[in-house]
Structure 1
Amino acid sequence: MDLYTKNWFEQHGECLDEWQKSAYKDFVNMMGDGENPYPCIPGIQGFLSNTLRFGFAGSPKDEGSYKQLADLLKQYGKVSRNTGKYASLVVFFDSRELVQEEATIEEYQDQFWTILNQVHKLDEEEWPEHIPKEPHHHEWEFCFDGEPYFAFCATPAHVIRKSRQFPCFLIAFQPRWVFDEINASTTFGQKLKRAIRKRLNAYDGVDTHPALKWYGQQDNYEWEQYFLHDDDSSLSKCPFTAMMNKFKKIQS
């Protein structure tokens, strides 16, 4: 699997499959909408500065897609720190079958957590010592190949929360280090948070989901933010069970 840049698409994008060209074009349109600006300011800056990296995977229902994503993450972890301060990996999945089936938010949610669990099983590295293994800990984050990531999912089924709507199934992975300068302990981070929240409310037309909090807050759970519902609800338990079960077996 290959990682692509904005510059690569501009020069070679025509050689891609039609669904891949369409997915990237939709992403460009979303990032470049001046009349209705996308809420994630760092994401837009990352796109404009050629900091983002992109990848493609097969259907979210296909087991082969798990290895494709694992390969992309492994490649990305080795180069992310050299790409720029607003680094992210954006992965587009071939969602044509799911779109045709009119898959629901709940079905996409199941696919998302299945993917994270299966990709975790392909991880050859130990879980980072500084990241808790329990998802219901306020400092937990999904990790792969020794790198903690914030995962963001968007789907064709989202309607109300337009910031989580995309024509194909999309997962973006932001390395945890990206947030070092934009967290609640910095003045810049506090200003950025207010600006993002203001744009988010305008973009979605509804109040911010109650799960959206700062990493490290005692009442914050990162996994709740990975996949947001269209309403204000959240799952009662994190579906990412692979790590917990493995950890419990080691303890017993």
Structure 2
Amino acid sequence: MERMITANLKEDFEDFILEKDHPCVMAQSVFSMDAVELHAYRDTASLDSAKELLKDLENYVSGYDFESNDFKTFIAVFPNSPKYSELEFETKLWELLGNLKKFDHCAWDKEVSPDPEDEHFSFSLCGKAFYIVGMHPGASRKARRSPYFSIAFNLHWQFEKLRAMGTYQTVRNKIRDRDRELQGNINPMLEDFGKNSEARQYSGRAVGEKWKCPFHHSKKQ
């Protein structure tokens, strides 16, 4: 039954990404190549769901081929979540990320900062930095308006790999151009890594300069 549910969810996401011509060409690529690991969970606030999600992420990281140029994305879906406002979604997203970190015994990835106020911040799980993309039906940005409450965990390594391959700026500009065509303007929260804390981008909500991240890394590592 769980496999059938996940298969149906993946079809819904393929429609969202491929059939509706999503602006993120990287997302289109991994879905076209069936390089997406999608898992469903019951409740964003459940500690059991957080433990299950963290275990799946551990398996994802341990099985990832960091020597390859092929990318693979992990998406966590919570199909039973109600429709939230952007502020409510942001609260739930950071609550879940905080719960994941409670059970994560790995040190923070040394390639990034654990301080969400730092311009080199990136969220770390299983010893690897991730760029988090929160998506939900109530998102104001069409590119984030997924069929369900969902989180894409994109390895920070993937962006560094694109830079090493010399294709990062080309891919970035193409995505932003396509986002402008879809929405009428570029997401005002998007900035390159190192310009401002990427924590401001995770929920998809437009936040002001005075916004403070609700998550603070407290482990002494």
Which TM-score applies when normalising by structure 2? 0.89
Aligned to 2:4: 16
Please give the alpha-carbon distance, in whole angstroms, between the structure 1 residues aligned to 2:166 and 2:102. 39
Q: Tell me the number of residue pairs that the alignment of Structure 1 and Structure 2 aligns.
A: 220
The C-alpha deviation readout for 1:38-60, integer Å capped at 9, x for no partner, is: 11111111111222211111121
Aligned to 1:221: 197
Structure 2 matches for 1:152-231, cutoff 5 A?
A: 152-158=133-139, 160-183=140-163, 187-203=166-182, 205-217=183-195, 220-229=196-205, 231=206
Aligned to 2:75: 90
Structure 1 residues 60 and 175: alpha-carbon distance in aligned structure 2, compared to 1, 3 A threshold:
same
Identity percentage of aligned residues: 22
Moved more, 77-86 or 144-153: 77-86
What is the letter of the counterpart of residue 126 of structure 1? A
Q: Which residue of 27, 31, 34 maps to 2:13?
A: 27
Please give the alpha-carbon distance, in whole angstroms, between the structure 2 residues aligned to 1:45 and 1:155. 21
Q: Which residue of 5, 24, 38 maps to 1:40?
A: 24
Preserved contact between residue 73 and residue 152 of structure 2 (Cα < 8 Å): yes
How much has 1:14 moved relative to structure 2? 9.1
Q: Which residue of 58, 61, 82 maps to 1:77?
A: 61
How much has 1:108 moved relative to structure 2? 1.4
How much has 1:146 moved relative to structure 2? 0.6
Structure 2 matches for 1:132-151, cutoff 5 A?
A: 132-151=113-132
Please give the alpha-carbon distance, in whole angstroms, between the structure 1 residues aligned to 2:173 and 2:3. 41
Gaps spanning 5+ residues in structure 2: where?
A: none
Aligned to 2:39: 55
The C-alpha deviation readout for 1:195-237, integer Å capped at 9, x for no partner, is: 111111122x2322222011123xx2111111111x5647711
The C-alpha deviation readout for 1:58-90, integer Å capped at 9, x for no partner, is: 121323211121111111111122686222101
Task: Tell me, yes or no, if structure 1 residue 67 matches structure 2 residue 51.
Answer: yes
What is the letter of the counterpart of residue 61 of structure 1? A
Structure 1 moving runs of 4+ over 3 Å: 231-235
Please give the alpha-carbon distance, in whole angstroms, between the structure 1 residues aligned to 2:198 and 2:4. 34
Please give the alpha-carbon distance, in whole angstroms, between the structure 2 residues aligned to 1:125 and 1:16. 33
Aligned to 1:240: 215
Structure 1 residues 234 and 72: alpha-carbon distance in aligned structure 2, compared to 1, 3 A threshold:
farther
CA RMSD, Structure 1 to Structure 2 (Å): 2.4
> Which structure ranks higher in relative contact order (CA pairs < 8 Å, sequence separation ≥ 6)?
2
Please give the alpha-carbon distance, in whole angstroms, between the structure 1 residues aligned to 2:70 and 2:214. 30
Task: Tell me, yes or no, if structure 1 residue 127 matches structure 2 residue 89.
Answer: no
Preserved contact between residue 123 and residue 130 of structure 2 (Cα < 8 Å): yes
Larger Cα Rg: Structure 1 or Structure 2? 1
The C-alpha deviation readout for 1:103-122, integer Å capped at 9, x for no partner, is: 32211111100000010010
Structure 1 residues 58 and 192: alpha-carbon distance in aligned structure 2, compared to 1, 3 A threshold:
same
